[in-house]
Chains A and B, each alone.
Chain A
Amino acid sequence: ETGVTQSPTHLIKTRGQQVTLRCSSQSGHNTVSWYQQALGQGPQFIFQYYREEENGRGNFPPRFSGLQFPNYSSELNVNALELDDSALYLCASSLGGQLEAFFGQGTRLTVV
């Protein structure tokens, strides 16, 4: 059984650019959630995907968008990057959203 994997691990982008982050969920898990963690703070919920459909969204603007594929892997896309988007982006997978959430190692995004 493989765990949750995220790519890339680190990324540097320029303000105004677009970025795509990727997440492979744990084997058998059909729910993927994305979180943003600013330095020194707890993670903030961005959105969740369940069976390829968005299943809830936190207080993030529309330039944060996502996708889930038939194999339950997922992408997080951020358009028009801002300096405040610099953070650790975490992906979590679970089975049906009712049980324990398992997190990947995160992608560290730096916007300059």
Chain B
Amino acid sequence: KQEVTQIPAALSVPEGENLVLNCSFTDSAIYNLQWFRQDPGKGLTSLLLIQSSQREQTSGRLNASLDKSSGRSTLYIAASQPGDSATYLCAAPWGKAAGNKLTFGGGTRVLVKP
């Protein structure tokens, strides 16, 4: 059974600082890993999807890495802005045959102070 953990649960940084968000998973036979952003009371916005064959994925100021052997993924957000304040969630499928029945971490709530 895949378990996903995100530490810390909350993070506060000054504007302009780089953000580093951590995600740990227990089953290294991971098919892919997806990062999401969630604004308060809203749905999830997909940020990046990393396939198991990839080591990282980039989109603009966002970069996500995947290390299956250590069971870790990291989301980097460069030059943070107040608009980056949100909860960030990572999720992994139960297994390759499970499609994208996702197991989520508890999320990291980020506050970027102007």
Contact = CB atoms under 8 A, between A and B. Distances in A.
B83 interface: no
Interface in B80-114: 89, 91, 94, 98-107
A86 interface: no
B46 A102 contact: yes
Q: What bracket does the count of chain B residues touching chain A fall in?
A: 20 to 34
25 contacts: A31-B99, A42-B6, A42-B89, A42-B91, A43-B44, A43-B89, A43-B104, A44-B104, A45-B101, A45-B102, A48-B99, A50-B99, A58-B101, A90-B44, A92-B44, A92-B102, A98-B100, A99-B49, A99-B100, A100-B46, A101-B91, A103-B43, A103-B44, A106-B43, A108-B41
Interface of A: 4, 6, 31, 33, 35, 41-45, 48, 50, 55-56, 58, 88, 90, 92, 94, 96-106, 108
